[in-house]
Amino acid sequence: MPARIIALCNQKGGIGKTTTTFHLARAAVLHGRRVLVVDNDPQGNLTAVAAADELAEDQAGLADVLSAQAPETMRDVIVPGVWPGLDVVPTSGVTLGYVRDELVVAGAGRESRLRGALSEVAGEYDLILIDCAPSLDQLTINGLTAAGAVVVVTHSKLFSANGLAQLLDTIDSVRQHYNPALSVAGVIVNQHEDKTVSGRTWHDELHAAADSRGLRFLSPPIPKRVVISDALEAAKGLDEWGSAEATALGAIYADHLTAIEGVQS
């Protein structure tokens, strides 16, 4: 049975898409899933923490798979992840940024290159998570076209609330033109500050906006905690961190994963 493919998206940077992808992958591995994460962001941050070994700048990766100028297939570029059961489609150097520009001027079929490449290996995994770039460009459109479901990762902040409608319009456009089966598995609020008035206010605004579009608002939000980013930077799961707080936070990611997979199944 082919893997479930889930893209994590938001055009705004710094909201924790990579962090969320990493900790959801850990939750899936702990439940015995075979997981592939795809670093669909030219910054390559997911590769830096999820790949088992440090990669050379000229390491073949997603850029080579998406480019018409390179011969590599998806199977050629996959590398082992930091945990058994995890593999990574890496991004290193600046090459993916160049391929993004190549896709802008490419012809028919440019939106489905990632979908076609993943079809080669999808049967070998239970779950594929695509960490999309902080933009609404051809890389993100490729991620959405390849996915069966998308998770919107956002902040309980003013500008995140304002950008939600734009992102959902892009998702609707991809559904209309390239991927009619694409569903929105849910909205995850990340780095939430429940003790601030603005945090609570914008959380409620986002919840209302999601409800108005018929979207699932995943609860509880991920709180703003240093241990979440510390574990990421150390390339460790929250369960490996050794504190009760970290374990409890890991359980939230596990609950969100269950909810997300339930929507897509």
CATH of the domain at 95: 3.40.50.300
Strand (E) or helix (H) holding 188: strand 183-190
Q: How confident is the model at residue 160 (pLDDT cuts 50, 70, 90)?
A: low
Among 26, 44, 13, residue whose Cα is nearest residue 191 = 13
Q: How confident is the model at residue 261 (pLDDT cuts 50, 70, 90)?
A: confident
Domain that holds residue 195: 4-264
Q: How confident is the model at residue 211 (pLDDT cuts 50, 70, 90)?
A: confident
* Report for 89-93, 146-150, 167-171, 216-220: range of highest mean pLDDT: 146-150
State the average pLDDT over residues 90-107: 81
Is residue 91's pLDDT more than 90?
yes
Query: From residue 122, how far is each of 74, 146, 159, 164 by CA, in Å?
Result: 10, 11, 36, 30
For the chain, what is the domain count?
A: 1
Strand (E) or helix (H) holding 183: strand 183-190
Strand (E) or helix (H) holding 140: helix 138-146
Which of 23-32, 69-78, 102-111, 132-141 shows the lowest per-residue confidence on average (mean pLDDT)?
102-111
pLDDT value, residue 120: 95
pLDDT value, residue 198: 67
pLDDT value, residue 93: 67
Judge contact between 160 and 15, C-beta under 8 A.
Answer: yes
Instruction: For strands 4-9 and 127-132, give the pairing.
Output: parallel
CB atoms < 10 A from the CB of 69, how many? 9
Tokens (6 digits) for 211: 């409800």
Tokens (6 digits) for 179: 């991927």
The percentage of the chain sitting over the pLDDT mark of 90, rounded to a whole number, equals 61
Residues listed for the chain: 265
The percentage of the chain sitting over the pLDDT mark of 70, rounded to a whole number, equals 92
Q: How confident is the model at residue 264 (pLDDT cuts 50, 70, 90)?
A: very low
pLDDT value, residue 214: 78
Q: Is pLDDT larger for residue 98 or for residue 24?
A: 24
CB proximity list for 53: less than 8 A, separation 6 or greater? 79, 80
Q: What is the chain's alpha carbon radius of gyration, rounded to the nearest angstrom?
A: 17
Average pLDDT of the chain, as a whole number: 89
pLDDT value, residue 265: 41
pLDDT value, residue 25: 98
